[in-house]
Amino acid sequence: MEPILAWLVEPLTYPFMLRGLWAALMIGLVVPVLGCYVVLRGMAFYGDALAHIILPGVVVAFLLGWPLAVGALIVGVLAALTIGGISSSTMIREDSAIGVVFAGALALGVVLLSLQRSYAVDLAHILFGDLLGVSPADLALMAGLSSVALLTVLLFYKEFLVLSFDRVLATTMQLPVRTLNNLLYVLLAVVVVISIQAVGIALVVAMLVTPASAAYLLTRRLGRMMLLASAIGAASGVIGLYASFYLDVASGPAIVLVATAIFGLIFLFAPGRGYLWKTAYVPVQNLPVLVEKER
Amino acid sequence: MSLPQQHDSQAPPIRADRLSVRYDGNLGLEQVSFTVAAGERVAVVGPNGAGKTTLFKVLAGILQPAAGSVEIHGHAPGRHVCVGYVPQRATINLDFPVSVAEVVMMGRIREIGLLRWPSRADWSRVDSALTRVGMQFYRARPIGSLSSGQQQRIFLAQTVAQEADIVLLDEPLTGLDLPSQEVIFEILDDLRHRPVTVLVATHDLSLASSHFDKVLLLNRRLIAYGEPQATITPQNLFEAYGGHLHVFADGKLLVDTHHEGRQ
């Protein structure tokens, strides 16, 4: 018991590791919740694009000496509303609108960045995350944004559910469909900004899509899917951070690799829906249920 | 969100007056006028592209009229939550992770209001709606695990939970076997007493004439509207379906639904 405990505690004696762990845990818990909407609504490309679009905001904030997350948040929200505006007011399809804004913003970000001398080092941090460089102020901002995101999902849970399941019903019920859609896009921008610190622009899509997809293989209820995705995300964050400490590898990619491995295991072994299960057994989920448990 | 519109108790549930609607720039409906009385069950019949779905979307407040007017209980649609609209099944993502009870609860979303969770009273309405359609033992099942007929009953239960008194069903019978169709009609018979006014888009002329109070024959324009025997005549059908209608020597009709109209 003693050596295991020491092994677990040792990294936490470094303050930067402790902050990194808190950040990994927070990101792992919150981002996959929004990721469930991304997976169910087929918005993976949107999430990936949003992360790259944020680059110029990060660079400008860096130049002005602001917290990077503030610049990222402003650009992220603007981009979310711009994409929504282009695709709802013209003939251009949403994925094309995303592509236009995505490429333009990324190019602008790289140009701005190349004006800097420390180009190479900073780009690597922005692209692949720097969990060990999280400052106490970063951590506080992350906690604030995470709470706002979770609280909003909780408050609008039933509206987002109807909107994602059956848009026609949402319209028939006279819900403010466009406002709710924009709210969801802004929330996505918020969690993308949170996760950039951990896994970087290039791998944000992993935090959005991988835990939620794994959870989707395990349940057919949105609430449970969100809880499971959260658990998988948090486990990936913590295990990935320890792996990066002891194996001396970059923390962001380590977290993503752990999440991918968990997805792989669930994909193979999920009861009823896993690949091996499906090839070996007859599915039992379609048998009639005679006695239902109370809610 | 604005408050739901009060009903004018003197006005009929549905009244359309020279209603014209554009859909994707084309004229989807042209000068359509008709009135439906409370508790009536109307079959909306016509070839594909005749404007059946367009008509339903206007009544549900999703599309706006280009000319003419339509009234729900005496007021323009759009602020009503008394209209339940069940679109064609193909438009809903049935792999979505929701339970049967959650789908039915969606009908109460306006009644519950923003920033609030369903109360115990809301859940008991969901349960009684499910009982009404005979699906009370399926409440925890994922919606995607049910058969088409069972899913159709769940969406009917959703309109019951919504307390809709006008229900629009877009092709609810397509692809259902006869027993499932009969179950749907039994539910509609039960709802009639509340009274719930029901419009059903269908291709099935024999069902339209045997199970409905009135038939609304549509092909962009209103071809005919009234009791089934008076409406489903060879001449009216020929006007609605054109060359895709075959009249046999014994007087039986066959509508060629595979090549009809503009899609």
Summarize pLDDT for A62-109 with one digit per residue, the tens: 788 787 778 888 998 888 888 877 767 767 777 888 888 889 998 998
Residues A139, A23: contact at Cβ < 8 Å? yes
How is residue B237 written in tokens?
């059908």
Contacts of B98 in chain A (CB under 8 A): 161, 165, 220-222
Query: What domains does chain B contain, in order, with CATH numbers?
Result: 14-231 (3.40.50.300)
Among candidates A169, A225, A292 on the partner chain, residue whose Cβ is nearest the Cβ of B106? A169
Residue A293 has pLDDT above 70, yes or no: no
Among candidates B60, B97, B109 on the partner chain, residue whose Cβ is nearest the Cβ of A225? B97
Give the pLDDT mean for A104-133: 78
Nearest to B95 by CA among A206, A32, A41: A41
Summarize pLDDT for A224-233 with one digit per residue, the tens: 999 999 999 9
Query: Across-strand partners of B16?
Result: B34, B70
Map residue B19 onto helix, strand or coil. Answer: strand
Residue A221: phi, psi to the nearest 5? -135, 130
Residue A214 has pLDDT above 70, yes or no: yes
When the pLDDT of each residue in chain A is averaged and rounded to a whole number, the result is 86
Give the pLDDT mean for B3-13: 71
Exposed/middle/buried for residue B189 (C-beta within 10 Å: 0-12, 13-18, 19+): exposed
The whole-number pLDDT of residue A143 equals: 94
Choose between A81 and A170: higher pLDDT: A170
Residue B258 has pLDDT above 60, yes or no: no
Of A134-138, B60-64, B117-121, give the range with the top mean pLDDT. B117-121
CA B187 to CA B204: how far, in whole Å?
A: 19
| Neighbour tally for B106: CB within 10 Å | 23
Tell me if chain B has a CB within 8 Å of the CB of A285: yes
List Cα–Cα distances, B163 to A164, A228, B108, B137, in angstroms: 23, 35, 8, 21
Q: Which of A91, A160, A169 to mutate against chain B (most B CBs within 10 Å)?
A: A169
Residue A138 has pLDDT above 60, yes or no: yes
The fraction of chain B above a pLDDT of 90, given in percent, is: 59
Closest chain B residue to the Cα of A169, Cα to Cα: B85
What is the amino acid identity at position B91?
T
The whole-number pLDDT of residue B81 equals: 72
The whole-number pLDDT of residue B35 equals: 96
Closest chain A residue to the Cα of B115, Cα to Cα: A155
Residues A170, A187: contact at Cβ < 8 Å? no
- Which single residue is written with the structure tokens 């194996």? A247
Here the ipTM equals 0.86
- Which single residue is written with the structure tokens 């709710």? A180
- Furthest-apart CA pair in chain A: how many Å? 69
Contacts of A158 in chain B (CB under 8 A): 105-106, 109, 112, 117-118
When the pLDDT of each residue in chain B is averaged and rounded to a whole number, the result is 87
How is residue B158 written in tokens?
């959703």
Choose between B258 and B90: higher pLDDT: B90
CA A264 to CA A256: how far, in whole Å?
A: 12
Give the pLDDT mean for B20-24: 84
Nearest to B169 by CA among B188, B150, B183: B188
Closest chain B residue to the Cα of A221, Cα to Cα: B97
pLDDT grade, residue A285 (50/70/90)?
low
Tell me if chain B has a CB within 8 Å of the CB of A132: no
The whole-number pLDDT of residue B246 equals: 62
Among candidates B93, B112, B145 on the partner chain, residue whose Cβ is nearest the Cβ of A285? B145
Residues B14, B71: contact at Cβ < 8 Å? yes
The whole-number pLDDT of residue A67 equals: 76
Query: What domains does chain A contain, in order, with CATH numbers?
Result: 15-270 (1.10.3470.10)
Distant-in-sequence contacts of A12-21, Cβ < 8 A, 24+ apart = A16/A132, A16/A133, A16/A134, A17/A132, A17/A241, A17/A245, A19/A134, A19/A135, A19/A136, A19/A139, A20/A131, A20/A132, A20/A134, A20/A241, A20/A251, A21/A238, A21/A241
Q: How far apart are the two ends of chain B, measured CA to CA in Å?
A: 35
Residue A268: phi, psi to the nearest 5? -80, -40
- Furthest-apart CA pair in chain B: how many Å? 63
CA B208 to CA B68: how far, in whole Å?
A: 27
Residue A284 has pLDDT above 70, yes or no: no
Q: Is B60's CB within 8 Å of A169's CB?
A: no
The whole-number pLDDT of residue A193 equals: 87
